[in-house]
Amino acid sequence: MKPQYWIRWLSQQGAPRLALRTQARRGDLFSQLMGGNGLDDPYPLIERMRGRGKLQRTPIAIATFDHALARSILRDSRFGVRATQSFNVPRPLQELGRRFPLPPNPVDPPSMLVIDPPEHTKMRKPVASAFTPRAVGRLRDRVETVTEQLLDGLSSDGSADLIADFAVKVPIAIISEILGFPESDQDMFLAWGDSMSPLLDIGISWRAHRTALLSMEVMNGYLDAHIARLRRTPGEDILSSLVTGGELDDHALKATASLLMGAGFETTVNLIGNGIAQLLAHPGQLERLRAEPELWPNAIEEILRFDPPVQTTARTALTDAEVEGVTVRKGTTVVLSLAGANRDPEVFADPMRFDVARANAKDHLTFSNGIHVCLGASLARMEGAYALRGLFERFPELKLDGPPRRRQLYTLHGYEKMPVRLGPKVPVPEPTTV
Helix and strand totals (H; E) in the chain: 18, 12
38: enclosing H helix or E strand: none
| Ramachandran angles phi, psi of 234, nearest 5° | -65, 145
- Which 120-139 positions form the footprint of ligand HEM (CB under 6 A)? 124
243 belongs to the binding site for ligand HEM (CB under 6 A): no
- Give dist(CA 304, CA 314) in Å, integer: 19
CB of 153 to ligand HEM, least distance (A): 23
Of the residues 83, 113, 196, 299, which one makes contact with ligand HEM according to CB under 6 A: 113
> Per CB under 6 A, which region of 212-220, 221-229, 257-265, 347-355 contacts ligand HEM?
257-265
376 belongs to the binding site for ligand HEM (CB under 6 A): yes
181 belongs to the binding site for ligand HEM (CB under 6 A): no
Nearer Cβ to ligand HEM (307/355): 307
Of the residues 285, 298, 366, 411, which one makes contact with ligand HEM according to CB under 6 A: 366
- Give dist(CA 11, CA 15) in Å, integer: 6
Nearer Cβ to ligand HEM (226/372): 372
Nearer Cβ to ligand HEM (213/310): 310
Nearer Cβ to ligand HEM (280/388): 388
Give, in order, the Cα–Cα distances in Å from 193 to each of 100, 187, 201, 219: 23, 10, 14, 10
Nearer Cβ to ligand HEM (32/368): 368
Of the residues 299, 380, 382, 409, which one makes contact with ligand HEM according to CB under 6 A: 380
Chain-centroid distance, C-alpha 331? 25
264 belongs to the binding site for ligand HEM (CB under 6 A): yes
| Under 8 Å between Cβ of 67 and 58 | no
- Give dist(CA 347, CA 328) in Å, integer: 25
DSSP character string of 349-406: SSTTS--TT-TTGGG--TT--GGG--TTHHHHHHHHHHHHHHHHHH-TT-EESS--EE
63 belongs to the binding site for ligand HEM (CB under 6 A): no
For the chain, give the longest Cα–Cα distance: 63
| Under 8 Å between Cβ of 334 and 351 | no
Nearer Cβ to ligand HEM (10/257): 257
267 belongs to the binding site for ligand HEM (CB under 6 A): yes
Pairing of strands 62-64, 56-57: antiparallel
Of the residues 14, 103, 109, 309, which one makes contact with ligand HEM according to CB under 6 A: 309
Interacting residues with ligand HEM (CB under 6 A): 112-113, 124, 178, 259-260, 263-264, 267-268, 271, 309-310, 313, 366-368, 372, 374-376, 379-380
